[in-house]
Chain A
Amino acid sequence: QKEVEQNSGPLSVPEGAIASLNCTYSDRGSQSFFWYRQYSGKSPELIMFIYSNGDKEDGRFTAQLNKASQYVSLLIRDSQPSDSATYLCAVNAGGGNKLTFGTGTQLKVEL
């Protein structure tokens, strides 16, 4: 079992729709959870982080964390073509100081 799992996609959504990206992790000691966006050929860009169970909203983005289910998600409201990218879920597995990344989910927002 991989430490951080994501569906590779592509996930296609129409412009203006809600995109839902999911991630599961294996280490129950994980304490911090991050979503990075990565455009093709570019480096990852931090867009959200969450530490506590529940929802955290920032603009069009909402991160959701359920530690009991070892599940973290990212919702993107009013999806735009500029949101088309790969979204990487990252976890500090075991509560350590390094991040363990999933393989990313490719999101395509279609006109």
Chain B
Amino acid sequence: DTGVSQDPRHKITKRGQNVTFRCDPISEHNRLYWYRQTLGQGPEFLTYFQNEAQLEKSRLLSDRFSAERPKGSFSTLEIQRTEQGDSAMYLCASSLAQSATEAFFGQGTRLTVV
């Protein structure tokens, strides 16, 4: 399967714990995006990378959220001190820079904070 891969698919964590999610983009895609989606809403942009550079981060994103893409391949999204409001589907997408917004999504990581 050469699509976008996310791990884990599901995560249940206790409030206050840290969690980390991984995304492996389509291999030739140099742009990688993180979105968050809650029930009944469309995906909400969090941040994106071109190669290893983080080029944009949502102004609404808490400082508890951090993302990395150290070698320009896979990316990780970490949430520190999780809160119940962080419960959502976290979606990763990738694209080619020259067709920047034709983004393809992975299956997502569903986070439940209890």
Interface, chain A (partner B; CB < 8 A):
4, 8, 32, 34, 36, 42-46, 49, 88, 90, 92, 96-104
CB neighbours (8 Å) of B108 from chain A are 42-43
| Residues of B participating in the A interface, judged by any CB pair closer than 8 Å | 31, 33, 40-45, 48, 55-56, 89, 91, 100-108
Give the A-B contact count at a CB cut-off of 8 A.
Answer: 58
A-B pairs with the 5 shortest C-beta distances? A101-B42, A43-B105, A98-B45, A92-B101, A43-B108
Residues of B within 8 A of A49 (CB): 101-102
**Residues on the B chain within 8 Å of A96, using CB:** 56
A28 to B59 Cα, complex, angstroms: 21
Known A-B contacts: A49-B102, A90-B42. Give 16 more (CB < 8 A): A32-B100, A34-B102, A43-B89, A43-B108, A44-B43, A46-B104, A49-B101, A88-B42, A97-B31, A97-B48, A97-B100, A98-B33, A99-B33, A99-B101, A99-B103, A101-B42
Measured between beta carbons, the chain B residues less than 8 angstroms from A32 are 100-102
The answer to whether B56 and A98 have CB atoms under 8 Å apart is yes
Would you call B103 and A46 a contact (CB within 8 A)?
Answer: yes
Chain A neighbourhood of B43, CB < 8 A: 44, 88, 99, 101
Give the secondary structure class of A's interface. Answer: loop
Contacts A32-B101, A98-B48, A103-B42 given; does A42 touch B56 at CB 8 Å: no
Contact with A46, one of B48, B56, B89, B102 (Cβ below 8 angstroms): B102
| Residues of the A chain whose Cβ atoms lie less than 8 Å from the Cβ of B42 | 4, 88, 90, 101-104
Minimum distance in angstroms from B65 CB to a CB of chain A: 15
Using Cβ atoms and an 8 Å threshold, which residues of chain B touch A34?
A: 101-102
- Residues in chain A near residue B89, CB distance under 8 A: 43
Chain A contacts of B56 at CB under 8 A? 96-98
Of A44, A45, A92, A100, the most chain B CB neighbours within 10 A belong to A44
Report chain B residues within 8 Å CB of A100: 45
Question: Whole-angstrom distance between the alpha carbons of A56 and B40 in the complex?
Answer: 28
Question: B41 contacts which chain A residues (CB < 8 A)?
Answer: 103
Q: Complex Cα distance A34/B103, Å?
A: 9
